[in-house]
Amino acid sequence: MGAKWTSKEQHEFLSLKKSDFMKAQLQLTLKMFWSTVSYEFFEKWPEINERFPGVTHECLTANQQQALGKFVEARKGQIRSWFYHTQREESKARATDFSKCITKIMGSTTKGTRGPSAVEMFMQTEEFVKVREASEEASESSISSEIASTSKPKKTGPGIAAMKKLAKAELSSQSDKFKLDMINHAKEECKRRADVAQAELEALRNPDIAQRVKAIEGLGGMFGQLLETVFEATGWHASVYVGGPDPRVKGDIRVYSFHHGQALTGSTFRESLPNHHERVVKPFTMFLQALFPGSNASQEGTPLPSLPTASSATTTPGTPLPSLSTTSSATTTPAPTAVDTPATTAPSTLTITPPSMTVPLPTIPSPTYAPYTQVGSTLLPDLLPQTPSASAKTQYQVDVNAFPESELNEFGLPPLPADPETTEGDDNLLSPISAWNCELALHQGAYTSPPRLRHTLFNTSITANSDVLPSPVVPLQAPVLGLPQQTTAALPPSNDTIPIVSSSITMPHQRLTAANNVAPQPGSAFQSVPAPVFNTCTTAVVSANTVTESSAVNSVLGTLDADSGGPLNKRMRLDLNENDMGTTVNNPPHSLHTCSIPTSHHFQPNQCLSFSEEAERIPRETVTWACTC
DNA sequence: GCATCATACCTCTCTTCTAG
DNA sequence: CTAGAAGAGAGGTATGATGC
């Protein structure tokens, strides 16, 4: 067995980064994450101290420096492996697996499949290999010259185009019988590939028990991504109900519901709908029972597996974000989360016993739910009841035969039962959904949807904290751009004024967010906010000892990687973007702004600079800079 | 002739697997 | 639990087939 390479402190440090790792995966910012986490790790535990104790960099020989470099790379590999290993250990890859499976099934088709052509088949023959080698060796060959000229700089062989041209020319010189053989071989290969593709698709569509279980356990992740994508694409929220025989509980019927979108109270549709279980889950379960009449009485079932979750430390308490609420058929009460109301009861498994259609609903104590955690712009719940023990049972009697045929709807389903608790009062005249919307309206129409984030991820720098919004209760506002607080006199006194052209500095923890760079989406949105004033300043002056009222500065610029040999291991950005987000300049032309910069950074005259999130955790000092507009 | 679609191949990165 | 190997997938480039 391998030895553990991390110390307790290192393990704790890496553990704290797990949520950032998952966010980076979702936000496609792994490079940035690796850079940041490596920097912080080596800052805490310099590799040189491990390999060459008591020796400074300056004292290392060339060979030692080279060796140290290899050690550092090896350590980085260990860190990477640690995160992936930890992720798998926590069974967080199932959702991804299932998503891939679904995608494959939805996307797979043999229609339009093009197999290799006769020329391409010929390229795989030994005859052509000999021709190609001969051609490559003949430096005076025009074909080889063409190959060389048409090839882009690569580490390996000639370009495909030149190869095909060579093959085509060579094949044309072959006998008709040879050509016909190539054509037939190509057709056979086409058919073989189509058959293989078809067989693979059929295998996916007819999974065995283990594959079905894996798919069911991946539902949470798949629907989470799906509903988030729906929201991104349409600005709409959605609720999804799925169910069927669950192999994990001997084929009993189980229903899950997934909900996207929360009211201001933090409740999802399921939680907002009074008596949701009776009115929605139960009829749906009855419908499923009709589809799967052979299903047996179930025992308390396995809960929906957890999804990748971050530590609660990364949760944004009270931040209204789309909730992804997953529940079993019997989960009639909200799952307690960081933004949800506490659960009261949580029946576990719905059992229907034909033919009387008696529905015994065992209840279990409120399960302990892990908190919702924010990963990217999606809340991924860990709905794993940790102590799912059955207790008192509540009996529900539902007789489908009690519904006359005339009352069944177009789908042959009974009408939704009226909510016995909401039969009086004007409000009760509203449908559940209307009442739900009414609640929103009463709160000034402030929706609880988050700003759309992901589409900006690929164009701007948004960190894990970028979607942190200010208040859990008040209507959403754009975050105040600029520093979270005014800081003063952090730099050593100096009267030197260093001009900086096009200065803009990305604030730690106060980055460009969707709320301040994306217009509210029709029908989804958060409260309108005062339009930001673009800061088009092109000249700024850093004054190290100036202390003034802080103003907001925010910039996300085009990226330009600095070399990695810098003392800060940072990524620097140059060139001011004139559409840069800024703030109102109250007292032009000499507004003063406060920002923070790496402690050890040395400004150069006329230097253009800003710092991306990779420098976020670099020790910083605060300076105030004046901006001439 | 042109636009569109589907594919092959290469390279690189990310992720998973597995022997030890 | 580690660490190397292997697989999976994305991005880029180029080509052929097809339809207009």
Write out the DSSP string of A53-116: TT--GGG--HHHHHHHHHHHHHHHHHHHHHHHHHHHHTT-SHHHHHHHHHHHHHH---TT----
Quick check: A337 and A369 in contact, CB under 8 A? Answer: yes
The integer distance in angstroms from the CA atom of A80 to the C1' atom of B11 is 21
Token readout for A281 is 């889950």
- Positive or negative, the CA dihedral A84, A86, A92, A94 is positive
Residue A111, CA: closest nucleotide via C1'?
Answer: B6
How does the average pLDDT of chain A come out, rounded?
46
Report whether pLDDT(A62) > 60. Answer: yes
pLDDT tier for residue A401 given thresholds of 50, 70 and 90? very low
pLDDT tier for residue A493 given thresholds of 50, 70 and 90? very low
Nearest to A569 by CA among A598, A540, A532, A589: A598
CA-to-CA distance for A381 and A270, rounded, in angstroms? Answer: 15
Res A389: pLDDT: 27
The two counts, helices (H) then strands (E), for chain A are: 19, 12
What does the DSSP 8-state code read for residue A353?
Answer: B
Quick check: A228 and A235 in contact, CB under 8 A? Answer: no
Report whether pLDDT(A167) > 50. Answer: yes
Sequence-separated (6 or more) residues with CB below 8 Å from residue A314: A19, A20, A23, A373, A374, A375, A464
Token readout for A326 is 């997953």
pLDDT tier for residue A612 given thresholds of 50, 70 and 90? very low
Res A511: pLDDT: 20
Res A165: pLDDT: 60
Report whether pLDDT(A500) > 70. Answer: no
Res A102: pLDDT: 55
Res A497: pLDDT: 25
Strand, helix or coil for residue A596: strand
Res A195: pLDDT: 62
CA-to-CA distance for A285 and A483, rounded, in angstroms? Answer: 52
> Which strand (E) or helix (H) includes residue A286?
helix A282-291
Q: Write the DSSP string, A194-222.
A: HHHHHHHHHHHHS--HHHHHHHHHTHHHH
Strand partners, A374: A379
Res A133: pLDDT: 61
Report whether pLDDT(A290) > 80. Answer: yes
Strand partners, A597: A621
pLDDT tier for residue A49 given thresholds of 50, 70 and 90? confident
Res A154: pLDDT: 35
> Is the distance between the Cβ of A441 and the closest atom of strand C smaller than 7 Å?
no
> Which strand (E) or helix (H) includes residue A394?
strand A393-397
Token readout for A372 is 């919702």
> Is the distance between the Cβ of A6 and the closest atom of strand C smaller than 7 Å?
yes
Q: Which of A14-18, A111-115, A420-424 has the lowest mean pLDDT?
A: A420-424
The integer distance in angstroms from the CA atom of A59 to the C1' atom of C3 is 31
pLDDT tier for residue A591 given thresholds of 50, 70 and 90? very low
CA-to-CA distance for A132 and A163, rounded, in angstroms? Answer: 8
- Using a 7 Å CB cutoff, list residues 155-194 of A near strand C: 159-162, 164-165, 168
Q: Write the DSSP string, A246-265.
A: EGGGTTEEEEEEEEE---TT
pLDDT tier for residue A63 given thresholds of 50, 70 and 90? confident
> Is the distance between the Cβ of A77 and the closest atom of strand C smaller than 7 Å?
yes
> Is the distance between the Cβ of A429 and the closest atom of strand C smaller than 7 Å?
no
Q: Which of A32-41, A70-79, A412-421, A426-435 has the lowest mean pLDDT?
A: A426-435
Strand partners, A379: A374
* pLDDT tens-place string over residues A12-39: 777 777 767 766 665 556 767 777 777 7
Quick check: A240 and A230 in contact, CB under 8 A? Answer: no
Arithmetic mean of pLDDT, A567-596: 26
* pLDDT tens-place string over residues A241-252: 888 887 767 788
pLDDT tier for residue A50 given thresholds of 50, 70 and 90? confident
Residue A109, CA: closest nucleotide via C1'?
Answer: B6
The integer distance in angstroms from the CA atom of A73 to the C1' atom of B19 is 23
Res A118: pLDDT: 67
Res A216: pLDDT: 72
- pTM, two decimals, is 0.33
- Positive or negative, the CA dihedral A192, A193, A198, A200 is positive
Res A304: pLDDT: 37
Q: What percent of chain A has pLDDT over 90?
A: 0
Arithmetic mean of pLDDT, A566-587: 24
Strand, helix or coil for residue A1: coil
Residue A118, CA: closest nucleotide via C1'?
Answer: C16
Res A170: pLDDT: 72
Res A192: pLDDT: 62
> Is the distance between the Cβ of A56 and the closest atom of strand B smaller than 7 Å?
no
pLDDT tier for residue A75 given thresholds of 50, 70 and 90? confident
* pLDDT tens-place string over residues A80-89: 777 776 665 5
Res A190: pLDDT: 60
> Which strand (E) or helix (H) includes residue A454?
helix A454-457
What does the DSSP 8-state code read for residue A341?
Answer: P
> Is the distance between the Cβ of A112 and the closest atom of strand B smaller than 7 Å?
yes
The integer distance in angstroms from the CA atom of A75 to the C1' atom of C2 is 12
Strand, helix or coil for residue A258: strand
Question: Which segment, A134-138, A447-451, A507-511, is predicted with the most confidence on average?
Answer: A134-138
β-strand pairing of A373-375 with A358-364: unpaired
Phi-psi region of A275 (alpha: psi -120 to 50; beta: other; left: phi over 0): left
Residue A473's CB is within 10 A of a number of other CB atoms, namely 10
User: Is A443 or A225 the better-scoring residue by pLDDT?
Assistant: A225
> Which strand (E) or helix (H) includes residue A620?
strand A620-628
- Residue spans of the domains in chain A: they are 8-106, 110-141+161-206, 208-291
Nearest to A461 by CA among A530, A535, A333, A561: A561
pLDDT tier for residue A569 given thresholds of 50, 70 and 90? very low
Nearest to A235 by CA among A8, A569, A523: A523
Report whether pLDDT(A616) > 70. Answer: no
3-state secondary structure A172-191: HCCCHHHHHHHHHHHHHHHH
Nearest to A606 by CA among A499, A497, A495, A496: A499
The integer distance in angstroms from the CA atom of A188 to the C1' atom of C20 is 31
Residue A152, CA: closest nucleotide via C1'?
Answer: C13
Looking up tokens 């029709």, which residue turns up?
A522
Nearest to A617 by CA among A40, A42, A25, A80: A40
pLDDT tier for residue A292 given thresholds of 50, 70 and 90? confident
Report whether pLDDT(A284) > 80. Answer: yes
> Is the distance between the Cβ of A117 and the closest atom of strand C smaller than 7 Å?
yes
Report whether pLDDT(A572) > 50. Answer: no
Report whether pLDDT(A347) > 80. Answer: no
Res A51: pLDDT: 74
CA-to-CA distance for A366 and A11, rounded, in angstroms? Answer: 33
Report whether pLDDT(A10) > 70. Answer: yes
Q: Which of A26-35, A380-389, A410-419, A508-517 has the lowest mean pLDDT?
A: A508-517
Quick check: A453 and A376 in contact, CB under 8 A? Answer: yes
Res A110: pLDDT: 39
Quick check: A204 and A108 in contact, CB under 8 A? Answer: yes
The CA-based diameter of chain A, rounded to the nearest angstrom, is 95
Report whether pLDDT(A544) > 60. Answer: no
Quick check: A516 and A583 in contact, CB under 8 A? Answer: no
Residue A12's CB is within 10 A of a number of other CB atoms, namely 11
Res A35: pLDDT: 74
Res A175: pLDDT: 74
The integer distance in angstroms from the CA atom of A114 to the C1' atom of C20 is 21
The integer distance in angstroms from the CA atom of A103 to the C1' atom of C9 is 13
Arithmetic mean of pLDDT, A317-345: 27
In single-letter form, the type of residue at position A211 comes to Q
